[in-house]
Amino acid sequence: MSSCIKSWPHLTLYGDLNMRPFRNVWMLEEIGLSYHHVNCKPWSKITKSVHPLGKVPALVVKDDDNQQQFVVLESAAINTFLGDLAREIEGNKRTNDDFNNEPRILLVPPPATQLRAKYDALTLFIMTELDSQALWIHRKHNDLKDVFGEAPVAVVEAKRQFENALDAIELELNDESGYLLSSGFSACDILLSNCCFWAQQIGWLARKPPSNESSSSSSMVGDTTISKSPTPKLASYLARCRRRNAFVKANELRKDQANERKEHHRSKI
């Protein structure tokens, strides 16, 4: 039977920050945890050493207190684990005065609560309806078509799926908190905003609302070349997420990774 982790373990995150591991670096920066990052591509030898399918991300957790080491897979599961860990460890250190004078930021709500049920539902919705059934289909059959084959009909349907799912989850944005949960910014906001930024990169989502109020917010059905325009509410939400200090730091780390890769490439020429 495994024991609860009572102090911060050693954390090593594996993966390319241009991919889903960016979500985990953002989460780690939100919490302020010390961690080590190993930049590696999917299916590489080093990735296969920590993930049975050679995928990223993978988080290796070394818990010296309980003399155990284990690996957490999947970006959403990693962030939920980190949020649970931060809440429990920090909660154990806080005094009554801390609870009275300093409000806690719940990046992941405690289990067996209404807020946690909402968090879990939103997280699974984002990962299934926006990520795996839409964005990942585009990546598989467009960017990685040499590996998985071309499937233009599937990509068209994936874009339609993304637009419908985005419309649905936008209704969940809380007017008071400005985020998905009434308690404020959480790990599910990292997932949603990251999926939206991914969609912007591939041209599925415009970066700004239409200047003409009469313009349609949706692209033509079956046309993968026209970006869906975000509503003012969604655009404001995404801008708010981008301004967070942890996102800015994570983005700087991603740029540093890109620069290091360029330098490495030049050194080989």
**How high is the pLDDT of residue 100?**
44
Q: What is the mean pLDDT of residues 57-86?
A: 96
Burial of 161 (0-12, 13-18, 19+ CB in 10 A): middle
**How high is the pLDDT of residue 146?**
94
pLDDT tens for each residue of 154-201: 999 999 999 999 999 999 999 999 999 999 999 999 999 999 999 999
Distance CA 86, CA 27 (A): 11
pLDDT tens for each residue of 124-159: 999 999 999 999 999 999 999 999 999 999 999 999
**How high is the pLDDT of residue 165?**
98
Q: Which residue has the higher pLDDT, 120 or 92?
A: 120
Distance CA 135, CA 197 (A): 11
Is 266's pLDDT higher than 70? no
Q: Which residue has the higher pLDDT, 84 or 263?
A: 84
Is 95's pLDDT higher than 70? no
Amino acid found at 167:
D
Is 1's pLDDT higher than 90? no
**Strand ranges of the sheet holding 58-63, from the earlier edge strand across to the other edge:** 36-38, 10-14, 58-63, 68-73
Is 237's pLDDT higher than 90? yes
Distance CA 56, CA 72 (A): 11
For 247, residues 6+ apart whose C-beta sits below 8 A from its C-beta are: 26, 29, 241
Is 207's pLDDT higher than 80? yes
pTM of the model: 0.90
Token pair, residue 18, equals 């241009």
Q: What is the mean pLDDT of residues 10-14?
A: 98
State the average pLDDT for the chain. 90
Q: What is the mean pLDDT of residues 213-222?
A: 49
